[in-house]
Amino acid sequence: MACAARWTSLLLAVLLARPLYLLATPAGQQSPQKVGEYVPGLMRWIADHYAITELYRRGESEKALELLAGRSIGEQRQTVERILGVLEVRLKTVEQVSSASSGRVDASQRRSGVPLAQPDQQKAADTAPASKGGDDPEFRWNVPATNVAGALHMEAALLAYLRDDASAAREIGEQIKIAEGFFEFYERHGGRPTESRRWQLALGLTAMADGRFGWAATILDDACARFPADNALHLACGSIHETIAMMPANVASEIRRVHVIRQLEDNPLTEEDESKPGRFRGSLNALGEAKSARDDRLEGAARAFDRVLASDPTDAEARLRAAHVRMLQKNDKAAAALLEPIVAATPAPPLRTAYLARLFLGEVHARQRHTARAATLFEEAVTLVPSGQSAHIALLKLARTTGNQEQATAALHRMVRAPGQPDDPWIGYRFGQFWVPDRLLAELRAGAQTQ
């Protein structure tokens, strides 16, 4: 019985110490396409990649990213495929040995009736030290290192975004894919979830906070498709679609639409205009396409916010933005139903939320000719944020709409005398949850670099 246990331990030690390319490559196979093929240059890349990952784990992020950038994205992808391939082989081999050992131990127990202690082979495989396997660089890699490597490549995606050159678009996508490969491997073999979705949220929100809305939409849409149950991602996705629908290009298209309509009123389309492309038809088609695209954006934003609220009705940011989308869709009744609970909430929500809720609800009532209620809400907004220029302008506009020139003049004078700080919360509204990414990135880095 003791002899069997010793033979099992010895066999496990031999398998762990044997170079992985020998384990992975059946006899007689020398194709470089095989996962286990020994390729000197590639083995060097694997060793370098581990060293770079270790630098990042120790907090030397700048140096690690500089060294990683020295490899082309193709070389990085090939290296990572090899790393994950040999780790997969290694874990399967240890699992097979563990299973065989368990069978022998069970037989011994049945014969003797005395339980035998077993080593934790899986843990040994996950955390095998660099000294195992001699100089074989593949043995430096283990399951926990793949989680750190995933974070490293997310950082590389962020660096590519900040670089913003001709190759940035491709590299961002490639680095996220590589990171996802590491994270997926870690989740399968490490038994714990990774921070993949939060990394992608941080990337998307960083782009949105920078005003690079195209980048933000690309990153966040892909992340929302990958993680359909993540509320924070759907809030961000809804925010970017709402913002794009509000962009100046859409305002310009509305101005062009009015201009075209006025032209058509003076010069109605004739049968000849109807039968072939004319000066108005092209404009009308373009305007129709622009309006359709804007409507699609708003519908997408509404779906995202509704999904968040279905999961968490107390999410004030999702409620606020869902209401604003309804306002843009001219659905004032739905907007008011979403905003009234925020305005009436006790305790009051954060200052930004309370201000914007009153600003939006005041606009809804102003459009419905509920002048007194609108004025009250705008006054409350000014009280909350005296520097809030949007609320001052809303009061001025409301007074002019009702023909009260005296109130309009007073509102103008009060706006001129208002303090300049803090910034009007409406100014930052289109940049999404701009206060989140810096803090989130700091948390993610700290988590990856303390493993």
For 69-195, where are the alpha helices, taking DSSP H only? 73-112, 121-126, 143-163, 168-190
Q: Distance between alpha carbon 128 and the CA centroid of its chain, in Å?
A: 33
Report pLDDT for 266: 57
CA angle 434, 336, 435 (to 5 degrees): 10
Task: Write the single-letter amino acid at 120.
Answer: D
- Distance of alpha carbon 44 from alpha carbon 25, whole angstroms: 19
Q: In the prediction, which pLDDT does 265 show?
A: 54
Structure tokens at 73: 């994205």
Closest CA to 398 of 406, 408, 389, 388: 408
pLDDT in tens, the chain (451 residues): 555 555 455 444 444 444 433 333 333 333 344 444 445 567 888 889 999 999 999 999 999 999 999 999 999 999 999 999 989 988 888 777 766 665 554 545 444 444 434 444 444 444 444 334 345 555 679 999 999 999 999 999 999 999 888 788 889 999 999 999 999 999 999 889 999 999 999 999 999 999 999 899 999 999 999 999 999 999 999 999 999 998 865 544 544 555 555 555 555 555 554 444 444 455 555 556 667 788 899 999 999 999 999 999 999 999 999 999 999 999 999 999 999 999 999 898 999 999 999 999 999 999 999 999 999 999 999 999 999 999 999 999 999 988 888 888 888 888 888 888 888 999 999 999 999 999 999 999 999 988 6
List the one residue out of 186, 68, 56 whose CA is nearest residue 449: 56
Spatial neighbors of 4 by CB under 8 A, at least 6 apart, are: 104, 105, 108
Q: Is cis: bond before 32, omega within 30 of 0? A: no
Cβ(334)–Cβ(368) under 8 Å?
Answer: no
Instruction: Please give the structure tokens belonging to residue 193.
Output: 């979830």
Joined tokens for residue 362: 């005041």
In this structure, which long-range contacts are made by residues 345-352, counting pairs with CB atoms below 8 Å and at least 24 apart in sequence?
345/316, 349/316, 350/316, 351/384, 351/385, 351/425, 352/425
Task: Reduce the DSSP state of residue 243 to 3 states and report it.
Answer: helix
Report pTM.
0.76
**What's the confidence (pLDDT) of residue 413?**
81
Q: Which pLDDT value is given to residue 376?
A: 96
Q: What are the structural domains of the chain?
A: 2-226 (no CATH), 331-430 (1.25.40.10)
Helical residues (DSSP H) of 271-388, grouped into ranges: 271-275, 279-311, 316-328, 332-344, 351-367, 371-384
Q: How far is CA 109 from the centre of its chain?
A: 52
Q: Where are the alpha helices (DSSP H) in 191-278?
A: 196-209, 213-226, 231-246, 248-266, 271-275
